[in-house]
Amino acid sequence: MDLKQKISADLKGAIKSGDVLRRECLRMLDAAIKNAEIEIDAMIIELEKELAMLEGEVGANEKAYATISGSINGGYSIIATKSGVVSNIMKKTGEFVGPGMPVATITAENNNDILVRMRIPNNIQKPKVGELLSITRPGFGTDAQKARLVGIGNSLDDNGSYMADAVFTEATKWPVGSSVRILAPANSSPALINYSSIVWSGDGTPTVWAVSEADRIFANKITIGRTIGASVEVYTGLKNGDRYITNPTSDIKENMFLPAKSSGNDDVEEYNMEGMEM
């Protein structure tokens, strides 16, 4: 074998040995990766077990706290609607409170979120949440502000009024604790009609026999409120200028013409609602 052949054979042997070494290194690396994955999976399982144990301890602590809290305050609590300082406490320990009754006042650090608490008399139609109200301060009649109603109670307080809360629509510089006057909306005083004017439909809906401009009679659904003597409040379904039958008879039918004998006996009812005697 000459020198050239010898060198070629040596190179081939070295390459073959390198390939074997490379495959062995790859095999060892794959084995190390698999072992690491097994160890990581085992660690994850252990961590999940520890997390489950900790969650169980938290749940047990929450139940224990709720039990202790319930034994102290009877299961009832008052939650502040915003951060601030308790500036006024209106009830004493042992006094009865109901839904909507004020218990304490929380004053914030700024006047951008002043809460207006008011009493709404029970002899007017309750405004709806979201309705805009006009608010003034006594002695400052020209300084009117707008506030949006955010909540209203469902029961009457000791004064026979509903408690309600409103927030200003814009920032105000009025001092906290100021006395204010709420201007009732124009639609807060409901119309009154005779209770005898109401006809009850088959599903219990209150209706009146309304009269169109063409003197045709049709059933008109209404929403009623309190009964005051022989009258009843009407919240929706009638407006100023509407005509209706004040004393309907059993022979009235839908879409019939107004009898001629009644056309000259129109009575103008309160709130400018025109009624017609039958």
| Percent with pLDDT over 70 in the chain | 73
The DSSP output letter for 14 is H
158-168 burial code (b ≥16 CB/10 A, e <16):
eeebbbbbbeb
The residue-averaged pLDDT of 160-179 equals 80
Residue 89, both tokens = 């406490």
Tens-place pLDDT, residues 177-220:
778 888 766 555 677 888 888 888 888 889 888 888 888 888 88
Alpha carbon separation from 240 to 192, 205, 244, 260, 277 (Å, rounded) = 12, 22, 11, 24, 18
Structurally, what CATH architecture does the domain formed by 191-276 represent?
Beta Barrel (2.40)
In this structure, is the dihedral angle defined by the CA atoms of residues 8, 9, 13 and 16, taken in order, positive or negative? Answer: positive
User: Identity (one letter) of the amino acid at 219?
Assistant: A
Determine the pLDDT at residue 268. 31
What confidence tier does 8 reach under pLDDT thresholds 50, 70, 90?
low
> What is the average pLDDT score of the chain?
75
How many angstroms separate the CA atoms of 122 and 163, rounded? 10
- Radius of gyration of the chain from Cα atoms? 40
Q: Is the pLDDT of residue 67 over 80?
A: no
Interval 114-142: pLDDT, tens? 778 888 877 667 777 888 888 888 888 78
Least confident range of 45-54, 120-129, 172-181:
120-129
Report the pLDDT value the prediction gives residue 262, as an integer from 0 to 100. 45
Q: What is the pLDDT of residue 163?
A: 81
- pLDDT tens per residue, range 227-253: 778 888 888 888 777 888 888 888 888
Model pTM above 0.85: no
DSSP calls for 103-166: -EEEE-SSSTTPEEEEEEETTSPPPPTT-EEEEEETTEEEEEEEEEEEEE-SS--TTSEEEEEE
The DSSP symbol for 185 reads P
Query: Per-residue pLDDT for 266 more than 60?
Result: no
Choice among 26-35, 66-75, 245-254 with the minimum mean pLDDT: 66-75
Using the predicted structure, report yes or no on whether residue 271 has a pLDDT greater than 50: no
The structure tokens listed for 222 are 């209404």
- Residues 22-28 have a mean pLDDT of 79
CA distances from 21 to 16, 24, 31, 54 (A): 9, 5, 15, 49
Label residues 236-275 b or e (16+ Cβ within 10 Å = b): ebbeeebbbbbebeeeeeeeeebeeeeeeeeeebebebeb
pLDDT at 16 over 80: no
Assign 86 to helix, strand or coil: strand
